[in-house]
Structures are given as structure tokens and as C-alpha cells.
Amino acid sequence: MILSILLSGIISFGGVEYDPDIHELMGEVNSDTLWANLASLSGEVSVTIEGEPDSLPCRFALSEGSDRAALWLAEQFEARGFTVELVPFFPHWLSETRPLPLGVENAEALEAIYINAQSSIGSDTMYNVVATLPGKDSLQVILCAHYDAITSTMWTYTPGADDNASGVMGVLEAARIMGEHNWQHTLRFVLFSGEELGLWGSEAYVKDAVEAGDSMIAALNMDMIAYNSDALPDMDIHCNPYDQASQDMGQMLIELIDIYELDIVPDRHIFDATDRSDHYWFWQYNIPAALLIEDFDDFNPFFHTTNDRLGRLDSAYMREAVRLALGWAASEAGLVEEPGIEERIVDSQNLVSFRLSADVIRYGAWLEIRSPHAITPAIYDAAGRRVKTLETIQGSLGSVRIPLEVSDLPRGVYWITVSGKESLVSERFVLVR
């Protein structure tokens, strides 16, 4: 028994390697973008939907407001260049047992809510918002969150800033950043409705996806990632107690926190894991999935009330959670080198080559150089003036990675040159701040 525990510990240890490209993407997670979108979805500020001014005070799944929220979310994905689908589904709550929504005592109480909803709006259609970023293959990595919300005033006001506009913003922000790159596997960014009524949207989604033959590698569900009253960066990761792959995923998240030095203290839950959110339906179909959620020991007391508002949330805490989710999705999906940053052979005869980590540089970049003899890279501005000479790099058989320190340069267009024995090749990059 002890031996097998030791072995499984060894096997799952150290599975993730540091990748500077992924680190750079994680650095692009922007608190201001997160915050502004959070204010929009939780009804704090007005929004534009289909070109008209609007606002989103109510996201109760069966209300008209939630349909408008779905439209607004779809437009956010579209603005980021995604093809997005609003996939309608209908609750089939009588079909089988499922976890009841919090605060709903039994199936009869749920039925009453449902019948009331039908008579109030005359429709029971809800929508999942599904954005896809096709990869080189069709294996899918999924980031998901529910966008519906609930309060005692569910037909008029459900700000749900933490529960769960926060998780939705995590999905949107990861999509914004990942959408600018190419990936080995396909990425699915999925926003569910009907979660608060008993995980209806995720049930419909996962059932349909399994029936359609989708190959889902893993799913990370974010539900409430922004409340932190004690200033301790604790976060919970819930894994399927019956699935080793889900537990390995939890371990991977912990390693990512360590490798990328995120300000999160993780607590992995396995045998006391909660199934009260959309990861449940992935678990039901044996798809590795985990829930990322704020510390249960510092739980949001305004949960499911009209006080679950932006002003009570912690933007830095939320940013770290989103960085983790993005780092996980990027590590799983596999960044594919883009044409713009492919290795350039400068001097094939002498095997000199270099690679710039990005052609749009925001926080610095690195240069990977392979050269058997000493070379001196230099940076020129758009007018052709040499503005910087980098340190001479001694020749070596392997590759040498050096940081490209550009923080002293103003923003603009530059060229970096690396000269071989008989040739000189330059590459353009844009420095933004």
C-alpha cells in the first residue's frame, strides 16, 4: 500500500516544465480588462448590445436578462475574433437525480420555480455560450464557467459579481490572450447557463459533446474566484475522488503555481471535493476536470445575495487565479510556434541561428542564439540608428538564451540584428507598453 502511494507520487511529480512563452502570456492577464468587464456583466455600468445601450442587472437563467447577457458575452468573444455559438437547451430536470441548487429543498420546489418561470416568460429556452479556437488537431481543452446568477430577487436583480461573473471574466480574458496564438489542441471556452438551477447547462453541454464524439482532454471550471477578505492568497482546487486523471490535473495546477511563482496558496480537495458546480457533469462522463474556487474557509458571505457586488472583490487575487487558468490551458493545449517567431537561420554554413520569443514585446522577451563563434546582437530603431548593443555571446555548441532587455527604450518599431561570419539577418519587432 505504502509502496503504491510512493510510486504514484513519483510518477505524477514534476510533470510540467517552465515555458517562457507561456509565462509571457500569463503576464498579459490584465486586471483593468477583468475589472471593466466584471462591472459590465454584474450590472454596475451600462453596456452595448447589438449596437444599443443596455444594462445587465439580472442574469437569472430563466429571465429575459440572461438571454441579453448571453448576447453580450457572444459579442465579447466576437470582438476578440472568435466564432461563437449560442447553443439553446431545455431543462430536463425530471429525467434523473442531480445535485439540487443550493437553497432549493427538493425536486418539487425546483418544479415550482420552473413552472413559475414558464408562466412568467412563456419560454424555457436557455443558452450556453460556446467559443472555439481550432487547434492543429481536434482534441479539446476546455475552460468553463457559468454566467447565470441567483438571488431572492431573481427576476429583477442578480449582480452575481463573484458568483460567477468572476469565473466568466477568467474565461473571457484567457480567450482574449490565447486567441492571438496557435495551439496544438483545440480550445473551447464555454459559458454555461442554468447552473444555479441544478447544473442544467453543463449537463446539456457535456451530454451533447459526448454524443457528438468530441474528444475532451480536460476541463477547468472557474466558479467564484474573486472574494478574498483575509488577504491570504488561499485557493481551493477540487478534484474527482474517483478519477486519478482529475487528481493529476489538480497536481499540475499546484506545480504551475510553483513554477510560475503565482501568488496563490493552493489547497487540493479530493475526498471532500464539492460536486456543486459544472465540473460535476464532466466527472459524470469520466472526463478529467477540476474546479478552481476561492478559499472555502474564507467564503463569500454575500453569495446569492444582492450584495454580491464588484466593490467587495479583490482584483489582484482574481488576476492570479486567471493567470493560473490560462497557464493550465496553455500548457495542456501546447503552443505552436508561429511563423513570425520561427527560428531564422542566419548563416547556414556556420550554423548560426536565432529566435526572438515574440514580435510584439510588452514586458521584455528573450533571444535564443546558436552559434559556434562569438557574435554581438544589436538593436536599431526604425530610422536605422543603432540604439543598443547587446553583450557579446561566446560561441557554443548548444543554444544560449539571453533576455532581451528593452525597458529603457521608448515604444516603437525596432530591428534586431544578429551577424554570422558571412551574413547579417535582422528581425523587426514592435515594443508596446
Interacting residue ranges for Zn ion, rule: CB under 5 A: 163-164, 223
Q: How far is CA 207 from CA 281, 285, 286, 410, in A?
A: 8, 8, 12, 52
Contact 111, 157 (CB under 8 A): no
Contact 315, 170 (CB under 8 A): no
Of 184 and 307, CB closest to Zn ion: 307
CB of 223 to Zn ion, least distance (A): 4
Contact 362, 291 (CB under 8 A): no
Where do runs of H (alpha helix) occur along 285-336?
315-333
Between CA 45 and CA 43 the distance in angstroms is 6
CB of 224 to Zn ion, least distance (A): 6
Of 117 and 150, CB closest to Zn ion: 150
CB of 284 to Zn ion, least distance (A): 18
CB of 199 to Zn ion, least distance (A): 10
Of 203 and 223, CB closest to Zn ion: 223
CB of 196 to Zn ion, least distance (A): 7
Of 77 and 280, CB closest to Zn ion: 280
Of 161 and 178, CB closest to Zn ion: 161
Closest CA to 314 of 176, 166, 172, 150: 166
Between CA 252 and CA 290 the distance in angstroms is 11
Helix, strand or coil for residue 315? Answer: helix
Of 59 and 323, CB closest to Zn ion: 59
Between CA 360 and CA 365 the distance in angstroms is 9
Of 173 and 255, CB closest to Zn ion: 173
Of 192 and 429, CB closest to Zn ion: 192
CB of 149 to Zn ion, least distance (A): 8
Q: How far is CA 161 from CA 32, 109, 149, 268, in A?
A: 15, 26, 9, 24
Between CA 133 and CA 95 the distance in angstroms is 33
CB of 378 to Zn ion, least distance (A): 53
Of 37 and 164, CB closest to Zn ion: 164
List, in order, residues 6 or more apart from 126 with CB less than 8 Å away: 61, 62, 66, 88, 89, 90, 91, 148, 193, 194, 200, 201
Instruction: Give the cell for residue 147.
Output: 454566467
CB of 244 to Zn ion, least distance (A): 26
Q: How far is CA 266 from CA 34, 141, 226, 263, 330, in A?
A: 22, 22, 15, 10, 19
CB of 36 to Zn ion, least distance (A): 21
Residue the block writes with cell 473551447 = 188
Helix axes of 167-178 and 64-79: crossing angle, nearest 10 degrees: 20
CB of 146 to Zn ion, least distance (A): 6
Instruction: Give the cell for residue 280.
Output: 460535476
Of 223 and 332, CB closest to Zn ion: 223
